[in-house]
Amino acid sequence: MSRDEIRGLPGFRDFFPEDFALRAHILDAWRRVAARYGFTEYDGPPLEPLELYTRKSGGEIVAQLYEFSDKGGRQVALRPEMTPTFARMIAARAAGLPKPIRWFSIPQLYRYERPQRGRLREHFQLNMDIVGETDPLADAEIIAAAIDALRELGLREEHIVARISDRRLISAILDANGLTPDRHPTVFDILDKADRDDRDRVRDRLGGAGVDGRARDRILDLPDAELEALASEYGDIEAVTAAAAGLGKVFRYLEAAGLGGFARFDASLVRGLAYYTGTVFEIWQRSGELRAVCGGGRYDDLLASLGGVDLPALGFGMGDVVLGELLAELGLAPSLEQAVDDYVVCVSDDEREVALAVAHRLRSEGRRVLYDLRLRGVSRQFKTANQLGASRAIIVGPEEVERGEVIARVLATGEEGVLPLSELVGGSGRHRWGRKDGSA
């Protein structure tokens, strides 16, 4: 086969040991934080009916689906996100589950998009969701969990910011400016991309969408608006004041939890997915050089539309690709460590069985143990032990075995001590292991 024929697919990753170490570092941190917040892990199939995504995910994701007809003639797709699967699974068990439900998963997801920095065609993603609660405290809780999932990896206020808004608030403001609900999605899309365009470009796009005059100026000012200022400006609009009051509670709860420094109101944030209904948020590197690390929000109608169970819900997704780049950029990625505590040095073939028994006992105690699979000179074994970064060398030689002991040498200092074989192999070396010449 030629070299071209054995290359991996574009946008998909090989996880060499150092890459896998970073992946494991991220996923382990996510699981620790999810456990602290009382979430239970679940998973679903990587292949789902195509309709699960075409019904509610929105045009961008639908356009990126890996979709095909299977051998049974069914229209299917590799999962591009986890929320629809989650909604389907919750709907199947909702009646018997205590509320609120707290579930999390770390699926591998697939989207056919142009590979670029921070975005590939597959990635692992932390999904955390709460079902069955409408109080703003639930919104603050899910945002706090997302922030802590990043703090667990060493990210601090100077590194990241959570941009938070509420679709109910922005929709009410659009209503107040004379925009009918059928025009909201177009304006949402313009606002969602406002941070990537200059002000004149945003003005032109709003004009192209039929938003003119004072309404255009007021909507154009939304990205820079403060929550309190909006609540005051639209104080005579009940829907605006109600949404602003609820979002204000979210910020107060985050402040009370000690996370206020991570949170910022951003009225331009509406999120691209069609099913969001309330609070929405994204977490970004403060410098804005990378894509969003995390995004989520409230989707109170999705369960009813997918599974017929009318329960409020909210959650987020956090991908490993951008996060891995951010950790590497900030020097927070783990270095690949050799996984060796003890290297058993066997002096001659006569001690091989004793060495194996010692190694197995140490492994059963949780230590990471290696030894030479092909007997070589002692100096060569010590060289290998040092190359692997072993902490100790356990020396099994004929005189030591004769005395019923082994020597443990700390490789960093050369300090040595004696370990009784009786503690390692359940009996003295002399009595349990005969020499090949038949002597005890």
Whole-number pLDDT of residue 279: 96
Supply the pLDDT for residue 2: 55
Q: What is the pLDDT of residue 39?
A: 98
Q: How high is the pLDDT of residue 108?
A: 97
Q: What is the pLDDT of residue 273?
A: 66
Do 39 and 128 contact (CB within 8 A), yes or no?
yes
Is the distance from CB of 279 to CB of 100 less than 8 angstroms?
no
Q: Residue 75's beta-bridge partner residues? A: 69
Q: How confident is the model over 325-334, as pLDDT tens digits? A: 999 999 999 9
What's the CA gap between 17 and 435, in Å, rounded?
41
Taking the chain (440 residues) in runs of 10, the rounded mean pLDDT of each run is 72 93 97 98 96 72 89 95 88 91 98 86 97 97 98 97 95 89 85 77 83 84 89 91 96 98 92 82 90 93 81 96 95 85 96 95 94 95 94 95 95 94 62 32
* Helix/strand/coil percentages in the chain, nearest 5: 45, 20, 35
Q: Where in the chain is the domain with CATH 3.40.50.800?
A: 342-432
Nearest CA to 326 out of 282, 293, 283 is that of: 293
- Collect all residues with Cβ–Cβ distance below 8 Å to 375 and sequence separation of at least 6: 346, 348, 349, 352
Rounded Cα distance between 416 and 410, Å, is 6
C-alpha–C-alpha distance, residues 316 and 164, integer Å: 12
What local confidence, expressed as pLDDT, does residue 426 receive?
55
DSSP designation for 350: G
Strand ranges inside 207-292, DSSP E: 263-265, 279-285
Half-sphere exposure of 432 toward its Cβ, with a 13 Å CA cutoff?
19
Alpha-carbon span 65 to 279, nearest angstrom? 26
Q: Are 421 and 428 a contacting pair, CB within 8 Å? A: yes
CA–CA gap between residue 78 and residue 104 (Å, rounded): 19
52, 306 contact by CB (below 8 A): yes
pLDDT at 440: 29
Task: State whether CATH 3.40.50.800 applies to domain 342-432.
Answer: yes
Residue 128 — φ and ψ, nearest 5°?
Answer: -125, 130
Residues of the chain with CATH 3.30.930.10: 4-329
Check residue 57 and give its pLDDT: 57
Q: What is the pLDDT of residues 47-61, one digit of tens each?
A: 999 988 887 655 667
Question: Which numeric CATH code is attached to 4-329?
Answer: 3.30.930.10
Length of the chain: 440
Per-residue confidence (pLDDT) for residue 317, from 0 to 100: 96
Q: How far apart are CA 209 and CA 58, in angstroms?
A: 19
Dihedral sign, CA of 132, 136, 137, 142? positive
Q: How far is CA 311 from the centre of its chain?
A: 25
Burial of residue 422 (CB within 10 Å: 0-12, 13-18, 19+) is middle
- Give the pLDDT confidence score for residue 433 in this predicted structure: 34
